[in-house]
Chains A and B, each alone.
Chain A
Amino acid sequence: SSDLSQDPAVSVALGQTVRITCQGDSLRSFYANWYQQKPEQAPVVVIYGKNNRPSGIPDRFSGSRSGNTASLTITGAQAEDEGDYYCHSRDSSGNHLNWVFGGGTKLTVL
């Protein structure tokens, strides 16, 4: 099992809002970074840190954290947002040099 837990699958109607969550003890101290992966492609970072979007990522993507849970919110989901989403942060060992990915959430846009 992973130090970071994600729901395996989430669906959202086109144009609606969806929240993808990531739970873990390390998130009480550190932020999560979020990656989107489409089939047969390398992951792409969509949110990092408190709530930062890399250049080229639409502003419908946002991030937040509360307690031991980090969230990625897509406001007005589009068909091209379908894919797998992974959170990434420190593991629970207490060594801030160790990293871990969540198990991933498959997002379907209906």
Chain B
Amino acid sequence: QVQLVQSGAEVKKPGASVKVSCKASGYPFNSYIITWVRQAPGQGLEWMGWINTYNGNTNYAQKFQGRVTMTTDTSTNTAYMELRSLRSDDTAVYFCARGTNHDILTGYVFDYWGQGTLVTVSS
């Protein structure tokens, strides 16, 4: 069965970086994009960007450009999201999700999600 298993919770100081992993199994890794979504405590979902696991192309939300890098390791079917220059308002649960491409009007549907990784930024 399709599974996305994320790395464990992290506590970071302001200004530091964090790298969250997302290990996929149960499907051909290179055939689906991976997207990253975060959720601050008590807040809604915020889309961060996606990576094409086939060719490594990325597209980041403007808010995160210059501060986020998404990569993959196809030898281990693992996706990574690194966020730099952390601030207290980066405290959130970070989710990875698999994106399945449908028609152009529908776009990508995020059909399987990881369990989430809590990143806490505190001095």
Instruction: List residues of A whose CB falls within 8 A of some B CB.
Output: 2, 29-31, 33, 35, 37, 42-45, 48-50, 52, 54, 84, 86, 88-90, 93, 96-104
By a CB distance below 8 angstroms, the chain B residues around A86 are 44-45
By a CB distance below 8 angstroms, the chain B residues around A48 are 102, 106, 109
By a CB distance below 8 angstroms, the chain B residues around A37 are 45
Query: Does B37 lie within 8 Å of A101, measured CB to CB?
Result: yes
Q: Is B115 an interface residue (CB 8 A)?
A: yes
Q: Is B61 an interface residue (CB 8 A)?
A: yes
Given the known inter-chain contacts A42-B113, A42-B115, A43-B110, please indicate yes or no for A101 contacting B105, CB distance below 8 A. no
By a CB distance below 8 angstroms, the chain B residues around A93 are 62
When C-beta atoms are compared, the residue in chain B nearest to A103 turns out to be B44
Instruction: For the complex, count residues of B whose C-beta is within 8 A of A.
Output: 26
Q: What are 30 contact pairs spanning A and B, CB under 8 A?
A: A30-B105, A30-B106, A31-B107, A33-B106, A33-B109, A35-B110, A42-B114, A43-B110, A45-B109, A49-B105, A49-B106, A49-B109, A50-B105, A50-B106, A88-B47, A89-B107, A96-B104, A96-B107, A98-B59, A98-B61, A98-B62, A99-B47, A99-B107, A99-B108, A100-B47, A101-B45, A101-B46, A101-B47, A103-B44, A104-B44
By a CB distance below 8 angstroms, the chain B residues around A103 are 44
When C-beta atoms are compared, the residue in chain B nearest to A104 turns out to be B44
- How far is it, in angstroms, between the C-alpha of A89 and the C-alpha of B45 when the chains are bound? 13
CB distance from B22 to the nearest CB of A (A): 12
The 6 closest A-B CB pairs, nearest first, are A49-B106, A42-B113, A104-B44, A101-B45, A48-B109, A97-B59
